[in-house]
Amino acid sequence: MIARVPIEVRDANAADLDAVAGLFLQYLAFYEHAADEQRVRDFLRARFASDDTVLLIAEADGKRPAVGLAQAYRSWSSVSLGPVWVLNDLFVEPAARGTGAGRALVRAICERAKEAGAIRVSLATAWDNVAAQGLYESEGFARDVAFLHYAKVTGA
């Protein structure tokens, strides 16, 4: 584990591709999804080139490489008649857990969403990811008890 040091969160950009791809591959492995490195790099290049995501990285003590990432997608709520953000990806490399990097990334996403006029940030995590659940709840996220969420796989 990295000793507690200042965490800097900033926008990721194309120059960060190597660091972000490495973290993203670890993230996918954590959720037991094998991915080809080239496919991950192509996906990330497309995110950097588009305006469909906010992709942040955390650096420990301002040093490279990044130790964590957060990615949120902008969306809309028909019921609330306003913009929402979906915190789709949050990952901190195992050696940097406990440094505050995850919390800093969550806070940065929420602040950006608020500044952009989003009415909420939503997310999903695995039932057994108790550490993440604790982080989210300590940052004011509430477990949804009003709606059941479903998914149907329609492609690869």
* Beta-sheet strand order (sheet of 53-60): 7-11, 53-60, 68-77, 82-92, 121-123
Neighbours of 90 (CB within 10 A): 22
Q: What is the pLDDT of residue 64?
A: 67
Q: What are 124's two structure tokens? A: 């999903």
Go through the chain and tell me how many residues it has: 156
Residues of the chain with pLDDT below 50 are: none
Q: What is the pLDDT of residue 156?
A: 66
Q: What is the pLDDT of residue 55?
A: 96
Q: What is the pLDDT of residue 2?
A: 54
Q: What are 24's two structure tokens? A: 């993203």
In whole angstroms, give the CA distance from residue 42 to residue 23.
Answer: 15
Q: Are 60 and 96 in contact (CB under 8 A)?
A: yes
Q: What is the pLDDT of residue 44?
A: 95
Q: What is the pLDDT of residue 72?
A: 97
pTM tops 0.85: yes
Q: What is the DSSP secondary structure assignment for residue 13, as one 8-state letter?
A: -
Which stretches of 30-67 are assigned E, i.e. beta strand? Answer: 53-60
In whole angstroms, give the CA distance from residue 14 to residue 16.
Answer: 5
